[in-house]
Amino acid sequence: MKANKTKSGSHNTHARYSASGADTWVPCTKSVSFVEKLRAEGLVPQRSMAGDAARIGTLAHDYAQFLLETELDRDPKFMAMPDELVDDTLALRGYVDRCLDTVGENDVVIVEHKAYLFYLPTETGTSDWVTIHRNKKGKVKGLTVRDLKWGQGPYTMKLRSYNNRQLAIYSLSTIHDLVRDGDMKMDYNLPIIMELDKPRVSGDAGTWELTLGELVEFCDHIRESSDIIKADKETKFAPSTDACYFCNGRTHCPAKAATPLVFVPADMDMKPVSLEACVQLYLMIPQLKDVMKVATDRLMEHQESTGKAPEGTKLVPGATRRAYMSPEVAIDFFEDKGLSEDDYLKPPAPRALIPMGQMEKVFRGDDKKDFQDILTKNQSPPKLVADSDPRPDALTNLDELFDL
Ligand code: SF4
């Protein structure tokens, strides 16, 4: 492994409206000036109070950086393992290994890269890990950007890599930096892989893979919100569970107060709720599912008859699902590539094929391209989602959608 590029810094930065707060200020452009006003009035602290969890998260990032730079022979300044992390040694090691696993022979890596934010170039955000994939001649052929999430709470649990604004901001900002420094060219076909790593939360956050062109397109709505905030006009309150969850102005916000039904907190404390009430709620799950289905059907009918999504919702294309063409084709392919059964079958009997997302990581270069040829892609039906969903509302007519 060759990994010799050093360009690092502390990840702990505070932009006026940061990548980590993007789920608040992108949909609710009013939140930035509103919180600044509350701060000026002394109604909220000047800076978010970093609690113990945030402090330990910073320690974990710093120690992970030390471990990674040690593995990369970069001779970092020694850091003893903080006592707060002793119980999570294995989790930290898992993160380190998964980062190192992304590095091929000609690749270059950057640890804790502080990049100028693409939407606010006077301020910076930090990518925890970037692998710059290169061919033998040093030409950049893709990037993997990884972000460590040390939390264990309900917010971290529900985080996914797909459509993650923070990851997108770190990735595009880092790419702008690399292009500016002459380390790569702005090739819009370049594959970008983004991964959240939540080592203390069971379950995989998944991988979000797209081309640089698609990433730029995804980031348009982030840039638009930033432009509105910078111009300091036409900002709007846009309350929603996700936007208000971490907003520092939430306890003083008139818009949030006016829409109480939106706010079922993801981490609602159920301890004070009686056991009997919990049982009642639990038994209602099938009915609630039915109610949600009826509501969704009715909204879809409205869409079909009017050609427009009901206000507050929009239609997005269904996910593209990939599958092996057939088990036989997949097995032939793996055998051709010199893999044994233990490499491509799950251990317990009856042995099934290892999912393609995992197998894909085994291959590089042309082998990876060949691997794509044994997969099929199916488009799921379009989906009605909330307006605040980051996916573009490119299609508003059902006929067009079904013609896809
Ligand atoms: S509480 Fe919600 S609606 Fe109010 S400013 Fe914050 S994000 Fe916007």
Looking at the structure, tell me whether residues 152 and 213 fall in a common domain: yes
- Nearest Cα neighbor of 195 from 142, 144, 156, 131 is 144
Domain that holds residue 359: 320-379
Q: Looking at the domain assignment, is residue 140 inside a domain? A: yes
What Rg do the C-alpha atoms of the chain give, in angstroms? Answer: 23
Which pLDDT tens digits describe the chain residue by residue (404 residues)?
Answer: 334 444 444 444 456 789 999 999 999 999 999 999 999 999 988 765 556 788 899 999 999 999 999 999 998 889 999 999 999 999 999 999 999 999 999 999 999 989 999 999 999 999 999 999 999 999 999 999 999 999 887 677 778 899 999 999 999 999 999 999 998 999 999 999 999 999 998 667 889 999 999 999 999 999 999 999 999 878 999 888 778 888 889 889 988 877 654 445 555 666 666 677 677 767 777 777 777 777 788 788 888 888 888 888 888 888 788 889 999 999 999 999 999 999 999 887 778 899 888 999 999 999 999 999 999 988 777 788 887 788 877 554 444 433 33
Ligand 1 contact, 22 CB (< 6 A): no
Q: Which ranges constitute the DSSP H helices of 284-355?
A: 285-306, 327-336, 341-344
Looking at the structure, tell me whether residues 327 and 309 fall in a common domain: no
User: How far is CA 290 from its chain centroid?
Assistant: 30
| CA of 178 relative to ligand 1 center, distance in Å | 35
Q: Do β-strands 313-316 and 207-211 pair in parallel, antiparallel, or remain unpaired? A: unpaired
| CA of 238 relative to ligand 1 center, distance in Å | 6
Looking at the structure, tell me whether residues 56 and 188 fall in a common domain: yes
Ligand 1 contact, 201 CB (< 6 A): no
Looking at the structure, tell me whether residues 49 and 142 fall in a common domain: yes
Q: Which residue has the tokens 């060219």?
A: 185
Sign of CA dihedral 118, 119, 123, 128: negative
Cα gap 326→362, rounded to integer Å: 19
Domain end among 196, 211, 229: 229
Q: Looking at the domain assignment, is residue 134 inside a domain? A: yes
Measured by CA distance, the residue closest to atom 7 of ligand 1 is 244
Q: Which of 28, 33, 246, 387 to mutate to test the pocket of ligand 1 (most atoms within 8 A of CB)?
A: 28
Q: Which two tokens stand for residue 321?
A: 């699902």
Q: Looking at the domain assignment, is residue 157 inside a domain? A: yes
Looking at the structure, tell me whether residues 58 and 189 fall in a common domain: yes
Residue type, 85: L
Q: Looking at the domain assignment, is residue 354 inside a domain? A: yes
Q: Looking at the domain assignment, is residue 8 inside a domain? A: no
First to last CA, the chain: 43
Domain end among 166, 201, 229: 229
Cα gap 63→82, rounded to integer Å: 8
| CA of 31 relative to ligand 1 center, distance in Å | 5
Looking at the structure, tell me whether residues 387 and 327 fall in a common domain: no
| CA of 61 relative to ligand 1 center, distance in Å | 29
Q: Looking at the domain assignment, is residue 59 inside a domain? A: yes
| CA of 119 relative to ligand 1 center, distance in Å | 21
Q: What tens digit of pLDDT does each residue of 88-119 get?
A: 999 999 999 999 999 999 999 999 989 999 99
- Nearest Cα neighbor of 48 from 15, 81, 70, 76 is 15
Residue type, 138: G
| CA of 386 relative to ligand 1 center, distance in Å | 17
Looking at the structure, tell me whether residues 175 and 292 fall in a common domain: no
Buried b (16+ CB within 10 A) or exposed e, 328-360: eebbebbeeeebeeeebbeeeeeeeebebeebe
Phi/psi for 111 (5° steps) reads -110, 135
Q: Which two tokens stand for residue 6?
A: 């050093």
| CA of 249 relative to ligand 1 center, distance in Å | 6
Looking at the structure, tell me whether residues 195 and 294 fall in a common domain: no
Ligand 1 contact, 28 CB (< 6 A): yes
Q: Looking at the domain assignment, is residue 142 inside a domain? A: yes
Looking at the structure, tell me whether residues 92 and 225 fall in a common domain: yes
Ligand 1 contact, 17 CB (< 6 A): no
| CA of 17 relative to ligand 1 center, distance in Å | 14
- The DSSP output letter for 388 is T
- Nearest Cα neighbor of 129 from 23, 223, 18, 3 is 3
Looking at the structure, tell me whether residues 111 and 202 fall in a common domain: yes
Question: Exposed, middle or buried by CB within 10 Å (0-12, 13-18, 19+), for 187?
Answer: middle
Measured by CA distance, the residue closest to atom 1 of ligand 1 is 250
Instruction: Please check whether residue 310 is in contact with residue 299, taking contact to mean a CB–CB distance below 8 angstroms.
Output: yes
Q: Looking at the domain assignment, is residue 49 inside a domain? A: yes
Measured by CA distance, the residue closest to atom 5 of ligand 1 is 31
Looking at the structure, tell me whether residues 184 and 221 fall in a common domain: yes
Ligand 1 contact, 32 CB (< 6 A): no
**Which atom of ligand 1 lies nearest, measured to the CA of 34?**
5
Q: Which of 244, 248, 252, 261 to mutate to test the pocket of ligand 1 (most atoms within 8 A of CB)?
A: 244
Looking at the 3D structure of the chain, how many domains does it have? 3
Looking at the structure, tell me whether residues 216 and 362 fall in a common domain: no
**Which atom of ligand 1 lies nearest, measured to the CA of 35?**
5
| CA of 153 relative to ligand 1 center, distance in Å | 21
